[in-house]
Amino acid sequence: MSASTVPGMAAKPASNYRWVVVALLFVITTVNYMDRNLLGVLKPTIQGELHFSESEYGNIVFAFSMAYAAGYASMGAFTDRVGIRYGLAIAAIIWSAASTAHGFVTSVGGFMLARVLLGLGEGGNFPTCIKSVATWFPRRDRALATGVFNSGSNIGGLLAPLIAAFVTVHFGWQMAFYVTGIVGLLWVVAWLVLYRAPEEHPKVSRSELAYIQSDPVPTVQHVPWSRLLRYSGTWVYIVGGVLTNPVWWFYNNWVPSFLFSKFHVNLMALGMPLVVIYLMTDIGSVGGGWLSGRFMRAGMDVFHARKLALLCCAACTVPVFLAPMVSDLWLAVPLIGLAMAAHQGFSANLFTLVSDTMPKGAVAGAVGLGGGISSIFSGFSAVVIGHLLDATGNNYTLIFFVGASAYVLAVVAIHFMLPRQPAGPMLPQPAAV
C-alpha cells in the first residue's frame, strides 16, 4: 500500500525545499551559539587585558540572562505579529550587531550593555525556529527537522574556540567578535532572499505544499499562561529547568576559564579540549533522545522510558565533581564533556516528557514560561558563582559538586511530581508543588 492510499498520509513530494529552510535554521543556530559562547572562550584573554574580577564577570552573565529571558518571551510574540521571515531576520540583526559591539567596549559596563542586546536578540532564535519547523513540516517529520537545526547549538559551541584562537592570535580578540557578527548579518541577507511562506514560495511544488499541509487542522487551542500552572507538566519543566539550566550556563560561561586557571593552558591550547567537549555534547544531544526510544522499543511504556532516560543522564553527570581534583587536563576534559553531553540528553527527555503529559496547546507556553524562569535563576546563579570564585581564589570544587548533584535532585523531584502515568496528555494533573 502506498503512502498516498493510507488515511492521513500524503505521498512524499518531488521537491524538498523545506530542507533548505532547515539548513538556514541550522546555520543561524550555529551562529547564535558562536556569538553566545565567544565571550566565555575569550574570557581569560580579555580578563588579563581589562582586569575585571570574577564577580564582575558574573554580573555580565547576569545581564545576558535577564535579557535572554525577556527576549525568549517577547521575540516569539513579536514573530507571531510580523511573521517568520522578518521576525527571525530582526532578531538576528539585533544579536549580530550586539556581537560586533563587543569588540568596541573596554569596560564591564560596556560588556553588560552588549550582552543585554545580545540576549534580547538571541532569545528570539529558538521559538522562531520552532515556529518555522511547524510551518514547513507535518508533525511526523518535525522531531527530525528540529533535531537537525538544533544540532547547530553544539556546532556553534565547537566552532567558537577554533575561531577565537585563530583570529585572536593573528588579529586580536576584538576581531573575533567582528567576524561572528558579520557572518550573522550575511546570513540575514541570504534568509531574506531565500525565505517565503511555503504557500507563497516559487520553489515549493504543489505536491510538496500538499505534503507540508497534510496534517488535519488542529482543534486544540492555545492555553493561556493563567491556566498553565494547573498542569503538573508545567511544574516539571520549571523545576527541572531551574535545577539544571544554571549548571549548563556555568559550563558554557566558565569551563574555558576553569581549564585556563587549573591547567595553565593558553588560548591556542584551549581550543582542542573545548572541541572535544562539544563533540561529546553533540553526541549526547542525539543519544539522549535515542535512549528513551530504545527503552520503548524494548517494551517499556513512554512515561517510564522518559523517566529512566532522565535517570541515566543524571547518573552520567555525577563524575564531574572530580574535575577540579584531577591533575591532568585530559582527565578533566572527558569528565566535563560527559556531564555536558548528559545535560543535552536530559534536556531532550525533559522537553519530551512535558509534551507527553500535557495538552498540545499548552506545551509551547509551558516551555516558554519554564525557559524564562530558568534563565532568571541562571542569571542569579552566575552572580553567586562570580562572588564565590573571588572569595575562594578561583576554587571550583563546590561549584562542580553542585553540578554533579543537581540532575539527580531534579530526577527525584520529577518522580514525586509525576509518580504515575497520567491518564492522558489532555487531562490536567494536580500540581505536586
| pLDDT tens readout for residues 214-239 | 877 554 456 666 777 888 878 888 99
CB-CB neighbours of 393 under 10 Å: 8
Query: Cα separations (Å) of 127 from 118, 232, 423, 429?
Result: 16, 22, 29, 26
Same domain, 178 and 245: no
pTM across the whole model: 0.80
Structural domain ending residue among the three candidates 150, 177, 209: 209
Report yes or no on 318 lying in a domain: yes
Same domain, 318 and 390: yes
The pLDDT value recorded for residue 431 is 38
Same domain, 243 and 350: yes
Cα distance between residue 407 and residue 243, in whole Å: 7
Cβ-contact 111, 57 below 8 angstroms:
no
- 242-278, pLDDT tens digit by residue? 999 999 999 989 999 999 989 988 888 888 898 899 8
Same domain, 239 and 319: yes
Same domain, 293 and 369: yes
Structural domain ending residue among the three candidates 180, 209, 238: 209
Same domain, 199 and 278: no
Report yes or no on 378 lying in a domain: yes
Cα distance between residue 57 and residue 108, in whole Å: 8
Same domain, 175 and 146: yes
222: burial class by Cβ within 10 Å (0-12, 13-18, 19+)?
A: exposed
Same domain, 51 and 133: yes
Q: Which of 189-193, 280-284, 319-323, 389-393 has the lowest mean pLDDT?
A: 280-284
Share of the chain above pLDDT 70, in %: 88
Q: State mean pLDDT over 384-406.
A: 96
CATH code for the domain in which residue 112 is found: 1.20.1250.20
Same domain, 193 and 84: yes
Q: Report the sign of the C-alpha dihedral through residues 77, 82, 85, 88, in that order.
A: negative
Q: State mean pLDDT over 398-423.
A: 88
Report yes or no on 5 lying in a domain: no
> With b meaning 16 or more CB within 10 Å and e meaning fewer, what string describes 1-38?
eeeeeeeeebeebebebbebbbebbbbbbbbbbbbbbb
- 135-183, pLDDT tens digit by residue? 888 877 776 787 778 788 888 988 998 898 899 989 999 999 999 999 9
CB-CB neighbours of 193 under 10 Å: 8
Q: Cell 593552558 appears where?
A: 265
Q: Is the pLDDT of residue 91 over 60?
A: yes
Domain that holds residue 131: 13-209
Q: How many domains does the chain have?
A: 2
Q: Which residue has the higher pLDDT, 268 or 309?
A: 309
Same domain, 41 and 77: yes
> What average pLDDT is seen over the chain?
85
CB-CB neighbours of 76 under 10 Å: 21
Report yes or no on 307 lying in a domain: yes
Same domain, 248 and 175: no
Cα-to-chain-centroid distance, residue 82: 24
Report yes or no on 187 lying in a domain: yes
Cβ-contact 240, 375 below 8 angstroms:
no
Report yes or no on 214 lying in a domain: no
Q: State mean pLDDT over 373-399.
A: 94
Q: Is the pLDDT of residue 2 over 50?
A: no
Structural domain ending residue among the three candidates 209, 243, 258: 209
Same domain, 32 and 114: yes
Share of the chain above pLDDT 90, in %: 50
Report yes or no on 105 lying in a domain: yes
The pLDDT value recorded for residue 422 is 58
Closest CA to 394 of 205, 262, 300, 198: 262
Report yes or no on 6 lying in a domain: no
CB-CB neighbours of 370 under 10 Å: 25
